[in-house]
Amino acid sequence: AITKLEELKHSIEVLQAQIRSDFERKMELFRFSQVRREFLEPFFEEPYVIIPKRANEWYVIAPKWLNFQIGWLERSTKSYNIFVVNRYVKWFSEIPQSLEEKFKFAKPLPFKVYDGMLLTGRELQEEALRRYKRFITRREGEDRLRIKKGYEFKLIAQMVEDGTLPFMPTPVKEEDLRPYDGIKPRSYQEYAWNEFLNKGAIGVFWAFGSGKSLFGIYALARVKGRKLVVVPTLTLKEQWLERINKYIPQYRDEIEVVTYHAYDKVKANEYNLTIWDETQHLPANSFIRMATLRTKYRMGFSGSPYREDGRENYIIALTGFPIGMSWEELIRLQVVREPTFRVYILSDNREKMRKLGELLQIPVKTLIFCDWLDLGEKIAKTFNIPFVYGETRDRLE
């Protein structure tokens, strides 16, 4: 974070002289009042603004010309990027020290949850009891507390909310692994794999297209025994099965792939490894039972570990130690590319169909999304293309 901050300062210094003159020229051009130079130096020292959004969540607004990224980008104007930061961002990506001090994140406490116990140490047992009494049934000696049955994930979620990662590493046993060289992990995937080996439970929060699924395939190959992959849609189920059959057909019989709705089908089973794909769905009331499945090791994958209901703490609590990486780093490594968007604002559906006809003349692979079935059927019939929707079988085909 310090290195990035120094790079940022250097970039600002390089641009200062040019921007001062550009500002004045632009202001003259648009007949604004003369630039007040006394405010330029403070601007270059702190070229962003932090505004509270809600409890423990902030907007960070920075000019677009600044090579700056923090939290997740909520929206942009012509001149500014508007990011959102909350207490969990520090576990998903790096935050410069100077900024972290402004957010005043809660200081973590040295508490750990393990085998139905909250491990507190002697000095902090009273503090732990005061904070988390509603999750506790009794003391167990002088350095631990017994957690109420069924309350372990709720306690972990509350501790994450309070700024503490309470997980106890459960290293993967050597006898649970086997060699596999069919996929060569990239450097950041190798790092995540080593974290998994050391801790046994991780949440992987990388950008879309950065190889989370392929990392999962690698894990399914390396870990022996019965394994489960949980996904939110039938399309993703088909995709996982396709990749399993392509890369690791020799281990297909060890692996089940189900949707989040299939709890009753798998609740009696035990697994060596469970992977929750798109794990931002897991905290939903209808899906959270999936987190209680009996599994020796666990992984959660998400490119967008955020929820409208504010349950980001449960995304971490239900998966394990978070591993993140910024978009900038992935772009620098040429793992993902910056996408290009072009938006057409059209007056009605007739104009949309006309424009769609123009775009379909471009000889590139094209995917059309629409928001209601009648329109999808009309597009498919008009342009003689397949329509994929809820009842479509073999969607990937």
Residues 152-191 have pLDDT tens digits of 888 998 988 888 888 889 999 999 999 999 999 998 999 9
Residues 196, 325: Cα–Cα separation, whole Å: 16
Beta bridge partners of 271: 295
Phi-psi region of 11 (alpha: psi -120 to 50; beta: other; left: phi over 0): alpha
For the residues 20-33, what does the mean pLDDT come to? 65
CB contact set of 61 (below 8 Å; sequence gap of 6+):
48, 49, 51, 80, 81, 82, 83
Phi/psi at 85 (5° precision)? -125, 135
The DSSP annotation for 6-63 comes to: HHHHHHHHHHHHHHHHHHHHHHHHTTPPPP-GGGHHHHHHS--EEEEEETTEEEEEEE
Tell me the whole-structure pTM to 2 decimals. 0.73
Q: Lowest-confidence range among 30-44, 95-109, 213-227?
A: 30-44
* Closest of 220, 221, 227, 218 to residue 272, by C-alpha: 227
* Burial of 84 per CB tally in 10 Å (0-12, 13-18, 19+): middle
Assign 10 a pLDDT band (cuts: 50, 70, 90). Answer: confident
Q: Would the pLDDT of 251 be above 90?
A: yes
With a pLDDT cut of 70, the percent of the chain lying above it is 95
Res 7: pLDDT: 81
Beta bridge partners of 300: 203, 276
Question: Sheet of 136-139: strands edge to edge?
Answer: 112-114, 117-119, 144-147, 136-139
Beta pairing, strands 136-139 & 144-147: antiparallel
Query: What DSSP element (H or E) covers 113?
Result: strand 112-114
Q: Residues 163, 108: contact at Cβ < 8 Å?
A: yes
Residue type at position 132: Y
Q: How high is the mean pLDDT of the chain? A: 88
Residue with tokens 């290195």, as numbered in its chain: 3
Cα distances (Å, whole numbers) of residue 278 to 80, 109, 223: 30, 29, 21
Rg (CA), the chain: 25
For residue 144, the 8-state DSSP code is: E
Q: Residues 282, 315: contact at Cβ < 8 Å?
A: yes
Assign 304 a pLDDT band (cuts: 50, 70, 90). Answer: confident
Tokens at residue 126, please? 């009273």
User: Terminal CA-to-CA distance of the chain, rounded, Å?
Assistant: 45
pLDDT digits (tens, 9 = 90+) for 345-382: 999 989 999 999 999 999 999 999 998 999 999 999 99
Residues 391, 80: Cα–Cα separation, whole Å: 42
* Closest of 297, 323, 304, 280 to residue 219, by C-alpha: 297
